[in-house]
Amino acid sequence: MQADRGRRYRPLTLLLAGVMFLLVLIQTSYFSRQQALAELQQRAEADLARYALSVQQKLDRYKDLPRLLATHSSLHEALTTRDPDRIQRTNEYLQQVNETIGAADIYLMNASGTTRAASNWYKSSSFVGLNFSFRPYFQQARAGRAGRYFALGTTSRQRGYYFSWPVMDEAQVIGVVVVKIDLHDIEQDWNDPLQDLAVTDEDGIIVISTRPEWKFHALEALAPADLKRVVDSMRYLDRPLSSLQLMRSEILNEQARLITLQEGGVSERSVRQQYLQLQRPVPETGLRVLVMARLQPVSDAVLQASILAGCACLAALLLVLFIQARWRIVRERREYVQQLQGARDALETRVAERTADLSRTNARLLDEMAQHRSTQNELIQTAKLAVLGQLAAGINHELNQPLTAIRNYADNAAAFLRLGKAPRAEVNLQEIAGLTERMAKIIHPLKEFSRQSSGQPVPTSLKEVCDGAMSIMYGRLDQQGVQLEWPEQLEQVFVLGDTLRLEQVLVNLLSNALQAMENSPRKCIEVSLTQSDGWVQLSLHDTGPGIATDDLQRVFEPFYTTKEQGHGLGLGLSISHRIMDNLGGRLTAANHSEGGAVFTLSLPVPRSVQGPPEQRVCQSGAHDV
């Protein structure tokens, strides 16, 4: 009876089990899809933020360059003169700047839009003589404001983003300087096979993409008026600007939507591909960065979850039906333990492999840091040699007098020997020996200054540093009639630093002060010394015109200089600032209340130096130069 009852209810039990099985699969598929979509969106948002920031940083790197170039005197000369030599110097200057910063092109247009000078002046595709007044970036700069624009070049037919800035003569715009950059490396840096990158302009036209077939297509069809406007502006030349075949669009939330594209045209191989689309604007550029993530991981996650859910249901059903089959339960437990052990072994193997990878990466980073230090030391040494080159004329002046005296003494000694006056000849030879020793003393400081130092901060005497710098600079100070006032008792002051590098910083500051005071009626450099809270401050105050307010925040930037072309690359103060940072100190610039510039070196006092801080004042007597 019970057996018949069991057979009677077995079909109903199987039916209920089947219905429960289907419900579990449906619910599992739904929730796993939602979870997979959320994870995919999270990863896509992270990638979108990273690449949007990469685009913005690349653009920000160049956005202020036209404004800086517009202040250069050679650009004003190229716009206000017809002298071919000056225009050629401007061409070469733009070429040098372009090669330094790695831009695509830099060119200068007059007020009517005709190119007067360009970095590609030597190429067959030179912009010189061409008129670009129809470009919006020219019209924006001609109106007196910054211009930004993305387009295909009419001459190069290459994509580029254009920055422009007006060149002013008082309150009048006399020309426009333009910097064009290439953004193709954004496509090359993207290496995710399940995600595609696209950048669109303000009209929704794809201008950068990891999918070549998407370029210069609109994600959605443009209105006829917008399409005509873009075509008439020759922004993308003869490109058709057709739209992608968008078959379906579903908004998920404010940041994302699901789209379906027909790819492959109307051929038999065309397929429909689903994407999760996220986009983010790049501020102040008119560009938008899109990430198109394929839904293949979502489908795989749903399939995997469904399989797991089905397996779980079947396992539960088998467990209920065969509850009495304990031996199978024991066997399943054994299999589970074996799988767990295998997973544990695999995990340990992966941990060991990852540890080895991290060790190799750490070693590579240490090598790169060592190479960076070597490059920095070479740059500092090059700057020192450049200073020595500037001092060559002074050394020549110092050596000419002893050489002339040596020749006269040699001639006199020869005459005395012919006359048989050996003692008088010996006196002349002794004078010659003294003069050669003097010449050696003149050259020795330069030899010491040019050699490389260890770069490690050690207790250093400020007296030795100042004496070393004066041995290099005293000739130039004497020639230009500069009065240099040092504080007293420098031999009692020690700082934590490096003698050779601190000498280089002082030589750079003294050289800049000499150049600043070239046209000053009174040429004086006052050096003051103060100590407080374990720090020593050495300040150099010159009687030059001082530093412009706009330049105070930029004087330590590499390649930034207010000197005329050919009088420096703007590296001296930058290298000096870096030297002070590496020694644990600071270098600051300011303007003195009585006029002139003040550069202050702040260095820590070694722990071994005891005693309260002492105020040092500038003395009225000048150093013997």
Same domain, 439 and 579: no
pLDDT, one tens digit per residue, over 105-141 is 999 999 999 999 999 999 888 999 999 888 888 999 9
- How high is the pLDDT of residue 22? 80
**Residue 479 shares a structural domain with residue 589:** yes
Asked if residue 511 and residue 583 are part of one domain, the reply reads: yes
Q: Which of 153, 184, 215 is the last residue of a domain?
A: 184
The tokens for 329 are 């339960």
Give residues with Cβ within 8 angstroms of 392, minimum separation 6.
none
Phi and psi torsions of 446, nearest 5°: -65, -40
Per-residue pLDDT reduced to its tens digit, 396-448: 545 655 676 677 668 777 887 888 888 888 877 877 776 676 566 556 555 55
- Measure the CA–CA gap between 450 and 438, rounded to whole angstroms: 20
Tell which residue, 549, 455, 467, has the closest CA to residue 503: 467
Domain that holds residue 156: 65-184
Residues 467 and 589 in one domain: yes
Contacts of residue 177, defined as CB under 8 A and 6 or more positions apart, other chains included, come to: 66, 69, 70, 75, 106, 107, 108, 109, 141, 164, 165, 167
Query: Can you give the pLDDT at residue 616?
Result: 34
**How many Cβ atoms sit within 10 Å of the Cβ of residue 5?**
9
Q: Which strands form 147-152's sheet, in the order they lie side by side?
A: 115-118, 105-110, 172-181, 159-169, 147-152
Last residue of a domain, one of 449, 474, 497: 449
pTM for the whole structure? 0.44
Region of 254 please: left (phi>0), alpha (psi -120 to 50) or beta. alpha
Q: Are residues 418 and 547 in the same domain?
A: no
- CA–CA distance, 286 with 56 (Å, rounded to integer): 11
Task: Give the confidence band of 51 by pLDDT, cuts at 50, 70, 90.
Answer: confident
Give a yes or no: residue 373 inside a domain: no
pLDDT exceeds cutoff 80 at 625: no
Same-domain check for residues 467 and 526: yes
Regarding whether 574 and 497 lie in a shared domain, the answer is yes
The reported pLDDT for the residue numbered 109 is: 94
- 474 and 442 share a domain? no
Same domain flag for 549 and 566: yes
Q: What is the DSSP letter of 586?
A: E
Last residue of a domain, one of 420, 449, 478: 449
379 within some domain? no
* Residue 563 token pair: 């000197």
User: Helix axis angle, 422-450 relative to 499-516, nearest 10°?
Assistant: 90
Report the pLDDT value the prediction gives residue 621, as an integer from 0 to 100. 31
pLDDT by residue (tens digit) across 4-46? 555 555 676 667 777 777 887 788 877 887 788 888 878 888 8
Q: How many domains does the chain have?
A: 3
The CA–CA distances, whole Å, from 532 to 313, 489, 604, 605, 616 equal 78, 17, 10, 10, 11
Confirm whether 228 is domain-assigned: no
Q: Please provide the distance, in angstroms rounded to a whole number, between the alpha carbons at the two ends of the chain.
A: 126
Does some domain include residue 199?
no
- Both 462 and 440 in a single domain? no
Residue 617 lies in a domain: no
For residue 237, the surrounding DSSP H or E stretch is: none
Instruction: Determine which helix (DSSP H) or strand (DSSP E) holds 148, and give its type and residue range.
Output: strand 147-152
Whether 214 is covered by a domain: the verdict is no
274 found inside a domain:
no
Q: CA–CA separation, 24 vs 307, rounded Å?
A: 11
Same domain, 531 and 404: no
**For residue 199, what are the contacts with CB-CB under 8 A and spacing of at least 6?**
55, 183, 186, 206, 207, 208, 209, 287, 288, 289, 290
Nearest to 94 by CA among 214, 178, 199, 186: 178
d(CA 69, CA 79): 13
Q: pLDDT tens-digit profile of 474-506? A: 778 888 889 998 898 888 899 988 888 888 888
Alpha helices in 121-210 (DSSP H): 136-142, 184-189
Give residue 76's region: left, alpha or beta (phi > 0; psi -120 to 50).
alpha
Residues 408 and 499 in one domain: no
Domain holding 99: CATH number?
3.30.450.20
Alpha helices in 64-175 (DSSP H): 65-69, 73-80, 84-101, 136-142
pLDDT at position 189 = 66
Question: Which two structure tokens, joined as six digits, stand for 361?
Answer: 């990466």
Quick one: average pLDDT of 267-282?
77
- The average confidence (pLDDT) of the chain is 79
Res. 302 pLDDT band, cuts 50 70 90: confident
For the cut 60, the answer to whether the pLDDT of residue 171 exceeds it is: yes
Confidence at residue 173, expressed as pLDDT on a 0 to 100 scale? 92
Domain at 487, CATH number: 3.30.565.10
Question: Does 432 reside within a domain?
Answer: yes
